[in-house]
């Protein structure tokens, strides 16, 4: 039996998905406005404050703040930092950096989770390609989110885009189910693993956060001393782009859009 099937996947009703769409729109707005503030010399803590303000003004709360002890409202990851970077008033963006903002908003108990990697001023061609391919992989995965497919189809689509582009595919981190909890079943790998099999069938009412994480080098990771921030083992740049997606009878529904 596939390891995907160890725990129950929570199916959402159409009404619950509509509520999740509200949470997703708030997260998307926070991500957009925080992203618009990205520029050389701004601190990552300033961007964190911007995102938190947008979330709270909408009557929601930052999902990440206090989650398992995380100290801030966004994850702020620069260059070789893959995910879970901690915002800081002393860490400022530099011209040519790439900067990932990962943000969650909880509204009326439901969670929207989304991320994007932004250029800081003009960036080199390889960094732009990394961002573009990561986004392409996200949407390739989303296209597979139709009833009757299996979770492995999503992972295969994401991984193929990364492999074809010659990028490193982070496999120790993955997407996940989302709903009233930040991390629900199932895990959503960014590369197909034959040991796991094709995984569960995708059914209407399933909601997953899909988040490709690609690098310009290795797929190996290391951890900073803060115990949160994953970095590439070889110092190469990384990108992460994420949407929360509902499987419906009609078509994949991206919930983290304004």
Structure confidence at residue 4 (pLDDT): 39
pLDDT digits (tens, 9 = 90+) for 168-209: 999 999 999 999 999 999 999 999 988 778 999 999 999 999
Neighbours of 250 (CB within 10 A): 8
State the number of CA atoms in the 13 A half-sphere of 73 facing the CB: 22
Peptide bond into 10 cis (omega under 30): no
Q: Do 125 and 139 form a contact (C-beta atoms < 8 A)?
A: no
Structure confidence at residue 143 (pLDDT): 98
Sheet (strand 168-169) strand order: 168-169, 213-215, 238-240
Rounded CA gap, 71 and 186, in Å? 26
Ordered structural domains, the chain, with CATH: 3-254 (3.90.230.10)
Is the pLDDT confidence value at 7 over 90? no
Whole-model pTM?
0.95
pLDDT digits (tens, 9 = 90+) for 17-55: 999 999 999 999 999 999 999 999 999 999 999 999 999
pLDDT digits (tens, 9 = 90+) for 116-173: 999 999 999 999 999 999 999 999 999 999 999 999 999 999 999 999 999 999 999 9
Q: Do 179 and 207 form a contact (C-beta atoms < 8 A)?
A: yes
Burial class (CB in 10 A: 0-12, 13-18, 19+), 37: middle
Rounded CA gap, 143 and 137, in Å? 10
**CA angle, 222 then 210 then 134, to 5°:** 65
């Amino acid at each position: 039996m596939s390891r995907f099937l160890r725990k129950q996947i929570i199916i959402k009703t159409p009404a619950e998905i509509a509520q999740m769409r509200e949470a997703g729109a708030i997260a998307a707005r926070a991500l957009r406005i925080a992203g618009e503030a990205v520029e050389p010399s701004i601190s990552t803590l300033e961007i964190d404050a911007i995102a938190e303000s947008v979330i709270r003004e909408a009557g929601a709360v930052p999902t990440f703040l206090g989650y398992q002890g995380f100290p801030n409202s966004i994850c702020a990851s620069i260059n070789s930092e893959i995910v879970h970077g901690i915002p800081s008033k002393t860490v400022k963006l530099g011209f040519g950096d790439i900067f990932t903002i990962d943000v969650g908003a909880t509204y009326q108990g439901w969670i929207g989770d989304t991320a994007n990697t932004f250029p800081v001023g003009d960036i080199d061609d390889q960094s732009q390609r990394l961002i573009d391919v990561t986004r392409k992989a996200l949407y390739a995965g989303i296209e597979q989110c139709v009833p009757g497919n299996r979770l492995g189809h999503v992972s295969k689509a994401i991984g193929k885009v990364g492999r074809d582009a010659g990028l490193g595919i982070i496999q120790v981190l993955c997407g996940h189910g989302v709903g009233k909890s930040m991390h629900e079943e199932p895990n959503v790998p960014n590369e197909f693993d034959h040991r796991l099999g094709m995984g569960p069938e995708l059914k209407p009412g399933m909601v997953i956060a899909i988040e490709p994480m690609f690098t310009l080098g290795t797929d190996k990771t290391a951890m900073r001393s803060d115990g949160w921030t994953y970095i590439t083992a070889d110092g190469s740049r990384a990108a992460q782009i994420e949407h929360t997606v509902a499987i419906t009878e009609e078509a994949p529904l991206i919930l983290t859009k304004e």
